[in-house]
Structure 1
Amino acid sequence: MFDATITPHRSLGPNGFRIVMTLVCLASIVSSIPFVVLGAWPVAGFFGIDVLALFIAFHVNFRHARAFERIIVTPIEVFLRKVSHHGREAIWRSNPAWTKLERVDDEDYGLLGLSLVSRGQRVAVASQLSPREREGFADALGSALASARRGADLGAV
């Protein structure tokens, strides 16, 4: 009935990363040449440290992009699988008849939070999405939960 995978948005892909790092390296080399010629060669080392720091920041950013959430709704089960950027996995299962979607809305910013609640357990979902994207996701997930409840009710009759 519903199957969605949510991944963190990254605006720079691997090719863009290569281009940015190439340009930064070239700019650092070109900028450090006058300092080396004037005898202030340690400045070139600081340019290298800046390039290294930028590379590490991108590496950490790309590692965090490995995280994802997968939500599957069927007439008999709501299945949520969260995988962190470290690869740690958390699984949450519930009956759709007992599961409700809880929203945290703000009139200025839109939908700030979304949680699945069942039998006293609450798990946040779609935290990687923007408020506008989360709104559309909440509508689709709410419809899927309602359809699953109707499907379960029809099956019980």
Structure 2
Amino acid sequence: MSIGKHDCDGDAGERTQISERPVFDATITPHRSLGRNGFRIVMMLVCLASIVSSIPFVVLGAWPVAGFFGLDILALFIAFKVNFNAARAFERIVVTPLEVLLRKVSQHGKEAIWRSNPAWTKLEREQDEDYGLMGLSLVSRGRSVSVAAALSPQEREGFADALGAALASARQGADFSAA
């Protein structure tokens, strides 16, 4: 009798594991075309160009111009630093048969979590005939949250198709007979 009960508990455990298994799991990060090595190369070239350009001014006695070249380098460095800090933001979307979980983390580390049942969640698209898919939102029970804002319209379109298919699959539920 205890063996039969153990088998039933095992089946329930497998069902729980299957229902918690992600149907869709994606992390979206902002695109950055310049990596750390590229940044170093650009900054070295800008510093070299600034030094070479400021030498004639220093020789002619207009030495304050060299200081302005230095301020340009500092401004460029700060702009890159802000850009790299913004790249720390990300969105993670996980869809299981029981839950849609959206976790947004800002560049400052502030986290916002949105949860919903896939049966009540729909994907709304904001389409522009000239530019493509401009906005994408998850909507559930009157609550709406924007997703995939960091993607280009073409990337967002592919993402929307994959997420829509995952939501449809999650609504159908886990196939416990396959386990």
Alignment TM class, shorter chain as reference? over 0.9
Residues of 2 paired with 1:18 and 1:118: CA distance? 45
Post-superposition CA distance 1:95-151 (Å, at most 9, x none)? 000000000001100000000000110000000000000000000000000000011
SS in structure 2 of the partner of residue 22 of structure 1: helix
Q: TM-score, normalised by structure 2?
A: 0.85
SS in structure 2 of the partner of residue 85 of structure 1: coil
Q: Is the 8 A contact 1:77 1:95 kept in 2?
A: yes
Residues of 2 paired with 1:56 and 1:28: CA distance? 17
SS in structure 1 of the partner of residue 173 of structure 2: helix
2:47 aligned to which of 21, 25, 31: 25
SS in structure 1 of the partner of residue 26 of structure 2: strand
The amino acid that maps onto 1:40 is A
Partner of 2:87: 65
Residues of 2 paired with 1:31 and 1:103: CA distance? 51
Consecutive unaligned residues in structure 2, runs of 5 or more = 1-22
Larger Rg: 1 or 2? Answer: 2
Alignment RMSD (CA, Å)? 1.3
Residues of 2 paired with 1:152 and 1:26: CA distance? 61
2:103 corresponds to 1:86: no
The amino acid that maps onto 1:48 is G
Q: Is the 8 A contact 1:76 1:152 kept in 2?
A: no
Superposed, 1:22-61 pairs within 5 Å as 22-61=44-83
Q: TM-score, normalised by structure 1?
A: 0.97
